A and B are shown apart, each in its own frame.
Chain A
Amino acid sequence: MKLSDLTQHAGEWLRGSGPMSETVISSRIRLARNVAGFNFLTKCTRHQRQALEQKVRQVVLDADLAPQTLYVDLEQAPDVDRQLLVERHLISKPHAAAEGARGVAIGQDETVSIMVNEEDHLRVQVLRSGLQLTEAWEQISKIDDALEDKLDFAFHPRFGYLTACPTNVGTGIRVSVMLHLPALKLTGEIEKVFRAAKDLKLAVRGLYGEGTEATGDFYQISNQSTLGKAEDEIVEEFGRVVIPKIIDYEHHARKALVSEKAVALDDKVSRALGLLRNARLMATDETLLLLSHLRMGVHMGRVKDVDLRTINELFLLTQPAHLQKMQGKKLEGDVRRAARADFIRARLNGR
């Protein structure tokens, strides 16, 4: 598999096929691990950092963790490739922007990614479509076992898995669910979700993780504490209690919109579709917002002639690096916005 093979379609997590996919885009679990006998990256020399990257790369490739594993050396990769991986949620923004020896292994239809030399030596991620936290936990725990067969992880009986930042110590787990909550946004009730999440000590972030604004009504909700609670407890609490409550809340808001504001709702959805089918210049944020409204319309049965797979793919393929990779050249400003609008029109008008 080559990196350019990825640009043509969306990864498994965007297929829109998983459970609860009308509200839950994806479920993600990541584990932070560090190799015993090495300093954390803040205190690694250039040479140690390289040695670590080579050691972990070898283990990841030899361990046969996931079918068709592709390893990308991020120190060598061009900007657009690193950006592409960020857009596909396979690496973090800081990992793309960092310097020095580092990489990422990607496998099994992009459900698995292992960042090497990010904030910790290893950041293992499993990303699946819809609400599939239990499945994701089972998958990632097996990968963790396979890695641990070959690597000694820094561990302390009291503190658990040791991480560069003490906020990740213990299980090193971050469980997050990406939610699409357009009705709660439209009805102005999204603030209540934020407050409830805060009370439950959960973090709410935008589409691309830490420090990003919520665009297009997408919200990432994740656990913050990693010490004193077992992994399956966190996963269970999320999958069976927290997320279903929010989903319920969004469904109520959608019903309320239909019964109380059907015309305004249809207007929103139709405008979105009209703009997407006709506009000649499209910015990234505007695209996200319009696609968000269209997605809601399709799920609520207000739009019949657009399929969900097309919308889900458009979310990804209209991102800057994807557009540029598909066209095979650098695109900026109005040229890029025009290319985006052309691409959307072609897809939505069935060409």
Chain B
Amino acid sequence: MKCDNCNKTATVHLTEIKAGKKIEKHLCEACAAAAEGLPVKSHMPINELLTNFVMAHSGMAGKEPQTLQCDHCGMTWADFRQNGLLGCPNDYAAFERELTPLLQRAHDGATHHVGKQPARRGGTGLAVRRHVDVAKLRKELQKAVEGEDYERAAKLRDQIKQAEG
């Protein structure tokens, strides 16, 4: 099987559930590493991933969710289910699999963040380019051209180039 992105052999097989639909992805090592934010990063075969997904949904995940605990703050899955509030940012990683179906219900099927991002990320001090909405810039560019505001159009063109570069 070939990688979805390039012509190398796909070694990473991912199943993503987005808006209630199952999306399968087959990627080579390099493309998989480049793809950010995919929910599962492993070499597990697809059927095993699916089984895990089904078990998480039916509350029968590998580790019994009731005893699942965040090793940073001590919050347990059972506690969270009772009070509705998490204990620390790490809980999102600790309970990622259990939280996913819950998030989908709360957020109209969505599982991934879209929108603003901090310039520095969570204490790492790592600079990340601020999210620029290219589609929006293009719309504005079109408006500027239609309105014969060429000075603004030139500025917007530069901004788009920069965002895409």
Partner-B contacts on A (CB < 8 A): 34, 36-40, 42-43, 119, 141, 144-145, 148, 152-162, 164-167, 169-171, 173, 201, 224-233
User: Which B residues between 81 and 103 are near A, CB-CB below 8 angstroms?
Assistant: 83-89, 92-93, 99, 102-103
- Pairwise interchain contact A40-B86, C-beta atoms closer than 8 A: yes
Say yes or no: A153-B122 contact (C-beta < 8 A), given A169-B92, A231-B115, A232-B133.
yes
Main secondary structure, interface of B, reads loop
Interface bits B103-131 vs A (CB < 8 Å: 1, else 0): 10011111111111111111101000000
Report the 9 A-B pairs with minimum CB-CB distance, sorted nearest first: A228-B110, A160-B113, A43-B87, A230-B115, A227-B107, A154-B89, A36-B123, A225-B107, A39-B88
Least CB distance from B62 to A in Å reads: 21
Q: What residues of A have a CB within 8 angstroms of the CB of B72 in the complex?
A: 39
C-alpha gap A152/B120 in the complex (Å): 7
Main secondary structure, interface of A, reads loop
- Pairwise interchain contact B106-A167, C-beta atoms closer than 8 A: yes
Least CB distance from B79 to A in Å reads: 9
Partner-A contacts on B (CB < 8 A): 36-37, 39, 72-75, 83-89, 92-93, 99, 102-103, 106-123, 125, 133, 136
Q: What residues of B have a CB within 8 angstroms of the CB of A157 in the complex?
A: 36-37, 113
- Pairwise interchain contact A228-B113, C-beta atoms closer than 8 A: yes
Report the nearest A residue to B130, measured CB to CB.
A145
- Pairwise interchain contact A228-B120, C-beta atoms closer than 8 A: no
- Pairwise interchain contact B86-A36, C-beta atoms closer than 8 A: no
Q: What residues of B have a CB within 8 angstroms of the CB of A153 in the complex?
A: 118, 122
Say yes or no: A36-B111 contact (C-beta < 8 A), given A155-B118, A157-B37.
no
Say yes or no: A228-B118 contact (C-beta < 8 A), given A42-B86, A119-B85.
no
Q: What residues of B have a CB within 8 angstroms of the CB of A141 in the complex?
A: 116
- Pairwise interchain contact B108-A201, C-beta atoms closer than 8 A: yes
Chain B CB within 10 Å — which of A119, A148, A230 has the most? A230
Report the nearest A residue to B75, measured CB to CB.
A43
- Pairwise interchain contact A39-B87, C-beta atoms closer than 8 A: yes
Taking A225-B108, A225-B110 as known contacts, 16 extra A-B pairs with beta carbons closer than 8 A to each other, sorted by chain A number, are A36-B123, A37-B123, A40-B88, A148-B120, A152-B118, A152-B122, A158-B113, A165-B85, A166-B106, A169-B103, A170-B113, A171-B114, A225-B107, A228-B112, A230-B115, A232-B136
